[in-house]
Structure 1
Amino acid sequence: MFKLFRILARGAAARADEEFLDRHALLILDQQVRETRAALERSRRALAAAVAADQAEGRKLAEIEARATDLETRAVAALAGGREDLARDAAQAIAELESERDAIRSARSRYEAEVARIRSIVADATRRQAELERGRRTAAAAEAVRRMRMDPGPNERATLCEAEATLKRLRELQQEAADTEAALAEAEPDADIAQRLEREGFGPRNATSAETVLDRLRRRAEAA
């Protein structure tokens, strides 16, 4: 029996963990996206530093090759001038420069291969990070819709159905007010018959019209 209780306890703990993860999945995903974004940024900076170092090695290699070429030209001139001692010293310096040149070339060859490998990894990580962030935005929208559709508890926000019911009731109240005003207007027969007589041309017009103003202006013009 004790063994059965232990199994049940482990099962309950596992289910509690799953339910906790389910409830906070979006929050966990947000944090994971932030961490992967930061890691990707560190990788990009490391790659940029590696490329900059390789470029510095390239400049150093060019300088060494230029110095070796210059020394070789001078050593040939020294030999032509009978100064083999100077030419020998130049040859020693040239040999050291060429050894350093070969070492840099070999190191750069290995370095370039490693940089290309890192660049490929960073490019793949950038693509996956972009896809992850797009998926996160989609998941956030879907989660918002899911929460909106959930049956609200006593302390939760109203649902769309409740809001639509409120709007329907408000429109009904507004329609009732409009109907009441129309009924009140119909209950004043004197005002209604006066408007009908005015429209038919019997009696003075209460509202000023453009024709009325124009007639007045004509009379003033004739009097002038």
Structure 2
Amino acid sequence: MLTLLRTLARGAAAQACEEAHDRHALLVLDQQIRETAADLERGRRTLAAAMAGDAAEARRLAEVEARAADLEIRAVAALAGGREDLARDAAEAIASLEAERDALRAARATFAAEVARLRAVLADAARRQAALERGRRVAAAAEAVRRLRPAASVGERANLRQAEATLARLQRVQAEAAATDEALAAIETPEESIAERLEREGFGPRTRSSSDDVLARLRRRAEADGSASA
């Protein structure tokens, strides 16, 4: 019985852990992506530092080779001048420099292979990191939609119906207001009578003076005033 209870307790704990992980999967993924991004950045910095060190070793190798070449020239000149003692000392120094040169060359060859391997590893890690970040954006969007689904199944439809009813009421009120405005405009602006329409078209005598009539009257008055003054 105790064994069964312990098994059930472990099963419940494991299930609770899985459910918690599922509920907070995005948070867990975000943290993991941050950690992998930090690891990738550290790897890049380490590789950059190693490459800078290799560049320094390359400069040191060039210096060693230059010193060995210079000593060899001087040793040959010493032998030609009969100074074998100086030439022997130079030969010992050249041998030491050549040993250092060979060690540097071997170290740089090994390092070059390691750098190539590290570059490949970092390039693969960078591609996988970019894929993780793209996948995270898609997962975040999907999770946001998933969280809306329970409320959208019933509540969203009700909200849509309410919004549609509100829009219909608003359109109805606006239509009624527009009709009222048109009726008021019609009341305030009297319709033109048939007699006025005929007069405006030039049929029958005029009941109102036009601007041309007024101007003609003013001219006649001006002419009459001029004749009287004369």
Provide the aligned C-alpha RMSD in A: 3.0
Structure 1 residue 123, shift from structure 2 partner: 1.0
The reply to whether residue 95 of structure 1 matches residue 91 of structure 2 is no
The reply to whether residue 167 of structure 1 matches residue 163 of structure 2 is yes
Q: Give the match's secondary structure for 2:151.
A: coil
Q: How many residues align?
A: 202
Matches within 5 A, 1:28-43: 28-43=28-43
Matches within 5 A, 1:65-144: 65-144=65-144
The aligned counterpart of 2:19 is: 19
Deviation readout 1:84-105 (Å, 9 max, x if unpaired): 1111111111011001001111
Structure 1 residue 139, shift from structure 2 partner: 0.6
Asked whether the equivalents of residues 43 and 122 of structure 1 are also in contact (C-alpha less than 8 Å), the reply is yes
- Cα distance in 1 for partners of 2:117, 2:199 equals 98
CA 128–203 in structure 1, closer or farther in 2 if over 3 Å, else same = farther
CA 128–202 in structure 1, closer or farther in 2 if over 3 Å, else same = farther
Q: Which amino acid letter does the alignment assign opposite residue 180 of structure 1?
A: E
- Cα distance in 1 for partners of 2:10, 2:198 equals 96
Q: Give the match's secondary structure for 2:190.
A: helix
Deviation readout 1:54-99 (Å, 9 max, x if unpaired): 1111111011001100110111111111111111111111011001
Asked whether the equivalents of residues 186 and 192 of structure 1 are also in contact (C-alpha less than 8 Å), the reply is no
Structure 1 residue 173, shift from structure 2 partner: 2.4
Q: Which amino acid letter does the alignment assign opposite residue 25 of structure 2?
A: A
- Cα distance in 1 for partners of 2:128, 2:54 equals 27
Identity of aligned residues (%): 58
Asked whether the equivalents of residues 64 and 97 of structure 1 are also in contact (C-alpha less than 8 Å), the reply is yes
- Cα distance in 2 for partners of 1:103, 1:39 equals 32
CA 186–32 in structure 1, closer or farther in 2 if over 3 Å, else same = same
Asked whether the equivalents of residues 78 and 84 of structure 1 are also in contact (C-alpha less than 8 Å), the reply is yes
- Cα distance in 1 for partners of 2:135, 2:79 equals 73
Q: With structure 1 as the length reference, what TM-score do the two structures score? A: 0.79
CA 45–16 in structure 1, closer or farther in 2 if over 3 Å, else same = same
Q: Give the match's secondary structure for 1:130.
A: helix
Asked whether the equivalents of residues 61 and 101 of structure 1 are also in contact (C-alpha less than 8 Å), the reply is yes
Q: 2:175 aligns with which of 148, 166, 179?
A: 179
Structure 1 residue 151, shift from structure 2 partner: 2.1
Structure 1 residue 202, shift from structure 2 partner: 8.2
Q: With structure 2 as the length reference, what TM-score do the two structures score? A: 0.77
Q: Which amino acid letter does the alignment assign opposite residue 173 of structure 1?
A: R
Structure 1 residue 118, shift from structure 2 partner: 1.3
Structure 1 residue 113, shift from structure 2 partner: 1.4
- Cα distance in 2 for partners of 1:19, 1:32 equals 18
Unaligned runs of 5+ in 2: 201-210, 220-230
Q: Which amino acid letter does the alignment assign opposite residue 106 of structure 2?
A: S
Q: Give the match's secondary structure for 1:194.
A: coil
